[in-house]
Structure 1
Amino acid sequence: MPITGTHIAYLHTCHRKLWLFANGIQMEHTSDIVAEGKLIGETSYQDRSVKYTELEIDGIKIDFYDAKNKVIHEVKKSDKVEHAHFAQVKYYLYILIKNGISEASAIIEYPKLRQRQIVEWEMEDLLTVEGWIALTKQIIHQDNCPDLINKPFCKKCSYYDFCYANEENLLPL
């Protein structure tokens, strides 16, 4: 199974979510928050699909890639887990480099916040991203699901009902 940008984002959010997702328990289709994020991505920059290319390569899918300027455009609903978004686009840049596309960059856009974050590839990112890949594979192949992390952002996670189904005395902080 190829590692995707979603795997890398989940690695930086919740190991339990990563393990569940990678092992076929996918709850995103039941989440209103995920649906809202997709809607924002689809409607915020409507002319993008004409201007830019969708790029699928080595298990990743970049919705908006400016091939002329070598820029990935990643649209996100909120900056609540910005570190995970940053890691996801660093992984995309890694995949592009592995496929001979060097000197690319990325822009993470938060249309609701009217903010954007430019992400550049740096040489030390190579070892960092390869470490993420190794850790992702290690977590995915564990026999048991990682423990519940019980963080405030759990309340808005698509896996919330799954994780807290038998935890009457344990609610996110």
Structure 2
Amino acid sequence: MPITATHVNLYHVCHRELWLHANEVRMEHTSDTVSEGKLIHETAYPQRAERYREIVLDGVKIDFYDPKAKVVHEIKKSNKAEAAHLAQIKYYLYILEQNGIEGATGILEYPTLRITETVTLTPTDRSEMVKWLTNITVILNSLTCPPLLHAPICKRCSYYDFCYVGE
């Protein structure tokens, strides 16, 4: 199974959600938060679909890529999982590099917060990426679901009812 940017994002949020998602247990369709995020993604920059391209490399889909400036644009609803968002963009940049596109950068955008952040891929990021990908592969290949996280973020998660059904 190819590792996607969603896998990298979820790895930085919750290993259990990563495993469930990879094993086709999907709860996003029940989440108002996910729906709001999709709406923001689709409406925040309506002209973007005309100006930028969607590309797929090695099974990784980048929604908004500016090939002239070599910039990946990623839109998120909230910065509560910012580390995961940054990891996702860095993975995009890593995949671009692996496919011969050097010097690409990313822009992480939180339209409702009016925050943008430029993202680059550093040598440290590249070595961390190898660790992330190894750990993600271990989780994806595991026969058992990782344990509950028991973190504040769980209360807003689309898998909350699934994970805490017995409690």
- Give TM-score scaled by structure 2 length: 0.98
Q: Distance in 2 between matches of 1:98 and 1:29?
A: 33
Q: What's the secondary structure of 1:124's corresponding residue?
A: helix
Q: Deviations over 1:94-113 (max 9, x none)?
A: 10000000100000000000
Q: Give, as a single letter, the amino acid of the residue that structure 2 aligns with 1:137.
A: T
Q: Distance in 2 between matches of 1:148 and 1:93?
A: 31
Alpha-carbon distance, 1:124 to partner: 2.3
* Structure 2 gap ranges (5+): none
- 1:84 — aligned with what? 84
- 1:17 — aligned with what? 17
- 1:65 — aligned with what? 65
Q: Distance in 1 between matches of 2:158 and 2:74?
A: 20
- 1:42 — aligned with what? 42
Q: What's the secondary structure of 2:62's corresponding residue?
A: strand
- Give TM-score scaled by structure 1 length: 0.94
Q: Distance in 1 between matches of 2:57 and 2:33?
A: 27
- 1:102 — aligned with what? 102
- 1:6 — aligned with what? 6
- 1:119 — aligned with what? 119
Alpha-carbon distance, 1:13 to partner: 0.3
Q: What's the secondary structure of 1:87's corresponding residue?
A: helix
Q: Give, as a single letter, the amino acid of the residue that structure 2 aligns with 1:145.
A: C
Task: Report 1:148-167 matches (<5 A).
Answer: 148-167=148-167
Q: Distance in 2 between matches of 1:140 and 1:47?
A: 37
Once structures 1 and 2 are overlaid, which stretch shifts more, 66-75 or 125-134?
125-134
Give the alignment's Cα RMSD to 1 decimal: 0.7
Q: What's the secondary structure of 1:102's corresponding residue?
A: coil
Alpha-carbon distance, 1:60 to partner: 1.1
Q: Distance in 1 between matches of 2:29 and 2:101?
A: 33
Matched residues, number: 167
| Percent of pairs with identical residues | 54
Q: Distance in 1 between matches of 2:5 and 2:30?
A: 20
